[in-house]
Every structure is written in structure tokens, then in C-alpha cells.
């Protein structure tokens, strides 16, 4: 056998072997693709102290999950529970979700968060719109919440002062402000207190109008009718939201400027609002829930603060009230309703 023959044979062999290897490399992924497992069904429990079909029970949150690749009934199922303004129902609702063995519970509102913390056992909880969880003692700290709780905090308390300042800037003549808040809710009470502190600093008189039940609004309205304030600051929680239209209508009727916390209240007819972007909060909550579903330990997921704040002004309402909103407010408004 001559060396030339040997080398040419060797080269041919190498070429054949290479082709075989390439062919194997092309075929292999087809097999792994065919063997991919069926999607796992994830169960999300949603609890709100408020109305069904609003907040975490609304369409926004489902959209946030869809953007992360979830398809309802294919790989995700939502189990919705609404307390409809009756916080005493919450423990039962949480128990129901625990019995359903949901993978994650997303709560809306401080009372829902407390109920979930007490009764959800080992099920991870993602809290939203529950005020300042550190301030209320719901979690130990933002970076290390501890337990099974994570979620999105609100810069809730401080913002009350900011709202009061914005209200004063929008309507400089304001001297007396009535504050409506759910006095049963610790988170909301903290917000009231922040407003009270700021009012004292800038020389505004506060009329505290704590409410505990829908009927209390009538008492509050009667109080404001008796000694009319110059403006209203409504601390937003499920109780006040459920009665928002009565407040907005009352303010319109009495020609009282009012400031709320979330943009949707301005769109409903409120004069103005300033607060975190709720849509962004739900998006972050969906992200945290997604990561828990993918195996993250909730204890490793710090609570997040909102990064975006919305100032909304309803110029139609302003017009009805005969107010001219200064440019310094409009220039910073994210949402102006004309």
C-alpha cells in the first residue's frame, strides 16, 4: 500500500465522518423539540378587599401575565376572591385559596395583605396597594421582607404631604382641608397623619373625617355641609374607592376642589390626583409572581418601591368649579383631561 493511497483514503474517511457528525448535529435538536413537556398549569389566587373586576381582579393584571408568556387556561388559572369592602370576609377567602392549593396569592389592600400573611401558610404572597408595608409592620424591611411575603410598596405616607402641597399650589386660597380616610386601616391612618404634619408646617387647617363603613360617608358629608372646608383630600383605599362617586358628586355639588391618589379617580370626575402608577405596580406584582412560579424564593425577592408617579388633572372639573389651574401644575401633569 503506497503512502499516497493511504493519505487520500484517510482524507475521504475524514470527510465522510464529518458529514455524519454534521447530520447527527442537525437531527438531534428535532428530537429534543419533539420531546418537550406539556406546560405546567399555574394557579394564581387573587384577593382584593374591593370590588370584583377592579384592581388586581381587573383586566390589567391578566395583561401583565400575558406579556410574560402565560395563556389563561393553558398554563395559568386565576382564582379570584373579592371581599367587596368587607374586610372580615378576607380570612375565609384566603382559606378558600389555600384549600385550592394556589401557587401564589396576589393581594390588594392592607387588610388583604394582613389576612394572607396570617392564613396563607406556606403559599407565597405578593402584596399590592397595601400602603407602606415596613411602616405597618407587615414586613421587616424592603430588602429582606422575610417569610413568604414580597410585593410592591407604596411611598404612601409621604405622598399625602405632597398631595396637600399640590392641592395648595393648584388652589392657593385653600386654608382648610377635609381629609377622608378609612380609620380602620392602619396604612390609611399613616397617610392621614403625614397630611396632618404637612398641614401644620404650611399653615393649613385639617378637618379629619375618618370613616369606617359606607354609612359613615353621610356623616362626613353632613359635617362638611355644616362647616364647609376649602378642599378635600381623599385617602384612597377600598372603602373610599367603593364610595368614590359619592365623594366626587359631593365635591362637585359643593364646588369643593379635591385631590385623590390615583389617576382613575380623576378620570371619574375628581379634580386632580397624585400617586404611583397603579398599572406599573401591577406589572411589578405580576413580575414577582412570575419569578416565584419559576422557582424563586419569595424571601429572596425584596419589596419594590414604585418608580413612576402620575399627576392627573381634570380641567373639565376645574371649569365646573370655576378654577384656573396654574401652569406650574399643568407643566408637571402626566394626564390632563380636557
Partner 1 sequence: MNLPYSRLRARPRRPLFQKYFTALFIAVVVPLLADGASEAWFGYRDQRHTLSQRLQAEARTAAGKIQAFLDDITDQLQWTVQLPWREGMEERHRFDALRLLRQVPAVIEVTLVDGAGVERLHVSRVDPDVVNSGIDRNQDPAVSGARSARIWYGPVTLYEGSEPHITVAVAGAREINGITIAVINLKLIWDVISAIHVGQSGDALVFDGSGRLVAHPDISLVLRGDGNPAATRLKLLQQAAVAGGSGITEGANAENRSVIAAMAPIAGPDWTAIVEQPAQEALMPIRAGLLRTALLLLTGTLFAAALAYFLARRMTGPIAQLENGAQEIGAGHFDHKIEIRTGDELEGLAQRFNDMAVGLAVSQERSERIARLKRFLSPQVAELLESSNQGTLLDSHRAEVVVVFCDLRGFTGFSGSASPEEVMGLLQAYYEALGAIITRCEATLTCFMGDGVMLLLNAPVPCPDPALHGVRMATEMQRSVQTLISGWRARGHTIGFGVGLAKGPATVGRIGYEGRSDYTAIGNVVNLASRICAAAEDGQILIDATVAAEVGSTCALIPLGTRPLRGFAEGIPVFAVAPQQQEWAALPAAK
Give contact residues for partner 1 (rule: CB under 8 A). Answer: 1, 3, 6-7, 10, 13-14, 17-18, 21, 25, 134, 141-144, 155, 158-159, 161-162, 164-165, 169, 198, 202, 291, 296, 300-305, 307-309, 327-328, 331-334
> 98-133 in b/e burial notation, b at 16+ Cβ within 10 A?
beeebbbbbbbbbbbbbbbbebbeebbbbbbbbbbb
CB of 226 to partner 1, least distance (A): 30
CB of 288 to partner 1, least distance (A): 8
CB of 309 to partner 1, least distance (A): 5
Cβ proximity to partner 1: between 44 and 292 the closer is 292
Cβ proximity to partner 1: between 198 and 216 the closer is 198
Cβ proximity to partner 1: between 78 and 274 the closer is 274
Cβ proximity to partner 1: between 204 and 224 the closer is 204
CB of 206 to partner 1, least distance (A): 15
d(CA 99, CA 9): 71
CB of 82 to partner 1, least distance (A): 29
Contact 129, 78 (CB under 8 A): no
CB of 165 to partner 1, least distance (A): 3
Return the closest-CA partner of residue 310 out of 274, 270, 258: 274
Cβ proximity to partner 1: between 49 and 161 the closer is 161
Return the closest-CA partner of residue 202 out of 194, 190, 211: 194
The H-assigned helical ranges of the chain are 3-34, 59-67, 90-99, 110-119, 156-170, 186-202, 216-226, 238-242, 244-253, 263-267, 278-293, 315-321, 327-330
Cβ proximity to partner 1: between 96 and 335 the closer is 335
Which residues fall within 8 angstroms of residue 3, CB to CB, at 6 or more apart?
A: none
Cβ proximity to partner 1: between 102 and 165 the closer is 165
- Hey, which residues does 313 pair with through a beta bridge? 272, 336
Return the closest-CA partner of residue 105 out of 154, 71, 147, 69: 147
Cβ proximity to partner 1: between 59 and 331 the closer is 331
Cβ proximity to partner 1: between 27 and 222 the closer is 27
Residue 149 φ/ψ, nearest 5 degrees: -105, 135
What's the length of the chain?
338
DSSP letter for each residue of 18-33: HHHHHHHHHHHHHHHH
Half-sphere exposure in the Cβ direction for 95 (13 Å, CA): 5
Burial class of 240 by CB neighbour count within 10 A (0 to 12, 13 to 18, 19+): buried
CB of 336 to partner 1, least distance (A): 11
CB of 18 to partner 1, least distance (A): 7
CB of 163 to partner 1, least distance (A): 9
CA dihedral 63, 67, 71, 77 (to 10 degrees): -60
Amino acid at each position: 500500500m503506497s503512502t499516497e493511497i493511504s493519505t487520500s483514503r484517510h482524507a475521504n474517511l475524514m470527510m465522510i465522518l464529518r458529514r455524519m457528525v454534521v447530520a447527527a448535529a442537525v437531527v438531534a435538536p428535532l428530537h429534543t423539540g419533539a420531546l418537550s413537556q406539556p406546560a405546567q398549569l399555574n394557579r394564581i389566587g387573587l384577593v382584593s378587599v374591593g370590588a370584583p373586576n377592579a384592581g388586581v381582579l381587573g383586566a390589567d393584571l391578566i395583561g401583565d401575565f400575558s406579556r410574560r408568556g402565560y395563556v389563561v387556561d393553558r398554563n395559568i388559572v386565576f382564582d379570584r376572591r373579592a371581599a367587596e369592602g368587607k374586610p372580615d370576609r378576607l380570612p375565609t377567602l384566603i382559606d378558600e385559596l389555600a384549600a385550592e392549593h394556589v401557587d401564589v396569592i396576589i393581594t390588594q389592600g392592607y387588610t388583604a395583605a394582613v389576612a394572607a400573611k396570617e392564613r396563607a401558610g406556606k403559599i407565597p404572597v405578593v402584596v399590592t396597594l397595601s400602603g407602606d408595608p415596613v411602616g405597618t409592620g407587615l414586613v421587616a424591611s424592603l430588602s429582606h421582607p422575610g417569610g413568604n411575603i414580597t410585593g410592591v410598596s407604596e411611598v404612601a405616607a409621604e405622598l399625602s404631604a405632597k398631595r396637600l402641597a399640590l392641592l395648595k399650589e393648584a388652589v392657593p386660597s385653600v386654608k382648610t382641608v377635609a381629609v377622608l380616610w378609612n380609620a380602620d386601616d392602619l396604612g390609611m391612618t399613616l397617610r392621614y397623619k403625614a397630611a396632618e404634619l404637612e398641614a401644620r408646617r404650611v399653615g393649613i387647617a385639617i378637618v379629619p373625617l375618618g370613616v369606617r363603613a359606607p354609612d359613615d360617608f353621610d356623616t362626613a358629608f353632613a359635617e362638611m355641609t355644616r362647616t364647609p372646608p376649602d378642599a378635600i383630600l381623599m385617602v384612597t383605599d377600598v372603602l373610599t374607592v367603593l364610595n368614590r362617586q359619592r365623594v366626587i358628586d359631593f365635591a362637585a355639588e359643593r364646588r369643593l376642589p379635591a385631590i385623590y391618589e390615583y389617576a382613575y379617580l380623576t378620570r371619574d370626575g375628581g379634580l386632580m390626583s397624585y400617586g404611583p402608577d397603579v398599572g406599573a405596580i401591577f406589572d411589578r406584582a405580576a413580575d414577582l409572581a412570575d419569578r416565584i412560579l419559576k422557582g424563586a424564593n419569595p424571601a429572596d425577592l425584596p419589596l419594590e418601591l414604585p418608580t413612576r408617579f402620575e399627576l392627573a388633572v381634570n380641567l373639565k372639573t376645574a371649569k365646573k368649579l370655576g378654577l384656573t389651574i396654574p401652569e406650574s401644575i399643568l407643566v408637571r401633569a402626566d394626564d390632563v383631561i380636557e
